[in-house]
Structure 1
Amino acid sequence: MAADAVAAPRLSLNVRYNRNVEENSGEEEENQVEILQDEEHYAELGPQRARPRNPAAGNRRCFRATAVTLGGFYLLVLAGLFIRFTLLQTRYDQLSSNYSQIQRKVSDISVENSQLQDEIKQLKCRIKEKQCPDRWKSFGCSCYFKSEQTDYWYGRRADCQMSGADLVIINNEEEQKFVTELSKDGEYWIGLLGQSQEGEYKWKWVDGSPLTETFWASGLPRGDGNYKAATCCDQQGKWTQRTYGDNKKWICEKDII
């Protein structure tokens, strides 16, 4: 039907032209020109009428162009964010490395300072070694006195206190060895007392400090509800426990002045 619809106007124009020729032959040339111009105009319009517009296709092309533009924009944003994150991560790693180096330096300084303090303390002790009173022996930064008499624990502590000292407190293995050597001729009272407190038997040094390192003989200590005191040392160089009313020799200790 489309071919018929296009051909119909051309037939109508030919008829009109023939009629005009018969009626007025003097206008022949003008009518021919007019007809040709109408045919050319129609020929230009014909293809346009044969191809109707498609709005959906145009919308799809517009959407694709917009999507491509937005996609490119998002890729640029993501690239910028990735670069920024990489720079921040690099900076963080540098700061972490610097912090670790500073921590190591601080730790090294602390160790050196502790060692220096120990050396100063030992130096002071060596300087004061000869400042212990007569009949007192020096060890570390303390002076020690070994009695030749015997008495019960509380009475002997009072005797030490009158000399500005107290019954010996053993803090480490080196001091334990020194006191063991002092007491090799028998058992001597030391500053360790055991008593029942709130249903529990506890041992404490005379200055109130708890035991951090002990040198008890096998099977000791035993708590039976009565006051007990420790002595040093048995033949194996270990602590024993006695009733505080027993008569024993004693060892006093005081700081070097």
Structure 2
Amino acid sequence: MEVEILEDEEHHADLGSQQARPNTEQNGAAVKRRCFRAPAVTLGVMYLLMLAGIYIRYISVTLEKDQLQNRYDKLSNNYTKLQETVSGKRCPDGWKRFGCSCYFRSNEKRTWTDSRDDCQNKGADLVVIHNKDENKFVSELNNMYGEFWIGLKTESTRRSSYEWKWVDGSPLTETFWAARQPAATWGWYTAFSNQQGQWTQSYDDFTKYYICEKRVSCIL
């Protein structure tokens, strides 16, 4: 009897040990799963944070790009306006500036009418002289070419007479006629100047050099 009891106790002990072993293994596996799950969650959170950071950076870069593009467009517009303003104050190539005008000296001879047509094709007209300084400037501008046409001509009045006027319609005020000039004002005449700045009346079918004048901005 004692032997049987001992055997039964050992058998129950073995059963208890066998039953306890699976529970221990299950607990160990659960612990391992928890150990692996925690780093996975951490990595997932880090991945989401990285994605959020990349997205925020993308939005920031896009906004900066738009701001830079807007600034560039504004600077480009300002530069274009500045160029237009400077171009309005600067004389074209081959022209000389004096006061509020640009002057072009021809290197070929034409009649008075053809000379004026060429000036108008250049966006200008034959030179209009208003004072002594301007008269001196245009004379020196053409001093190597001799006589040149100016924008002065006679026009008929209501009383069937003629009077001198500039091509822009302004009246003749200060004059620089040569001696015994003008000789007559009863017909249609034009005028030219010599190297000394002295004016002489003439018929328009002679060929001479000429000077064109283009008005520009007076603000330098």
Higher RCO (CA 8 Å, separation ≥ 6 residues) = 2
What is the identity percentage for the equivalent residue pairs of Structure 1 and Structure 2?
Answer: 52
**Secondary structure of residue in 2 paired with 1:174:** helix
The reply on whether 1:214 has 2:175 as its aligned counterpart is yes
Query: Are residue 162 (structure 1) and residue 121 (structure 2) matched?
Result: yes
The alpha-carbon deviation at position 222 of structure 1 amounts to 1.9
Summarize the Cα distance change of 1:140–1:228 in structure 2 as closer, same or farther, 3 Å threshold. Answer: same
- 1:214, CA displacement in angstroms? 0.3
Query: Deviation of residue 160 (structure 1)?
Result: 0.6
Counterpart secondary structure, 1:192: strand
Relative to the length of structure 1, the TM-score reads: 0.47
2:79 maps to which residue?
Answer: none
| Unmatched 5+ stretches in structure 2 | 1-85
Query: Which residue is 2:33 aligned to?
Result: none
What secondary structure is seen at the aligned counterpart in 2 of 1:145?
A: strand
Matched-pair contact (CA < 8 Å) for 2:102–2:213? yes
* Map of 2:150 onto structure 1: 190
Q: Distance in 2 between matches of 1:180 and 1:146?
A: 10
8 Å contact from structure 1 (residues 168, 252) kept in 2? yes
Aligned to 2:100, which of 141, 145, 162? Answer: 141
**233, 236, 247: which is aligned to 2:207?**
247
Of residues 176, 181, 201, the one that matches 2:135 is: 176
Shift of 1:139: 0.7
Distance 1:175 1:128 in 2: 23
Count residues with an aligned counterpart.
130
Preserved CA contact (<8 Å) 1:201 1:223: no
Which amino acid counterpart does residue 233 of structure 1 have in structure 2?
Answer: N
Alpha-carbon distance, 1:130 to partner: 7.3
Distance 2:161 2:174 in 1: 20
Report whether the alignment pairs 1:238 with 2:198.
yes
Higher normalized helix content (fraction of residues):
1
Contact 2:154 2:185 in 1 (8 A): no
Q: What's the C-alpha RMSD, in Å, of the aligned pairs?
A: 2.0
Report the secondary structure of 2:176's partner residue: coil
Output the CA distance in 1 between the equivalents of 2:197 and 2:168.
Answer: 23
Do the aligned partners of 1:129 and 1:138 also contact (CA within 8 Å) in 2? no
Whole-angstrom CA distance in 2 between matches of 1:254 and 1:179: 13
Q: Return 5+ residue gaps in structure 1 as ranges.
A: 1-126
Inter-CA distance 224–140: structure 2 relative to 1 (3 Å threshold): closer
Deviations 1:224-248 (A, max 9, x none): 63321111125x4311111111111
In structure 1, C-alpha distance between the alignment counterparts of 2:204 and 2:189, rounded to whole Å:
5
Please report how far the alpha carbon of residue 174 of structure 1 lies from its aligned counterpart in structure 2 after TM superposition.
0.9
CA distance in 2, matches of 1:168, 1:237: 13
d(CA) in 2 for partners of 1:231, 1:165? 18
Contact 1:230 1:240 in 2 (8 A): yes
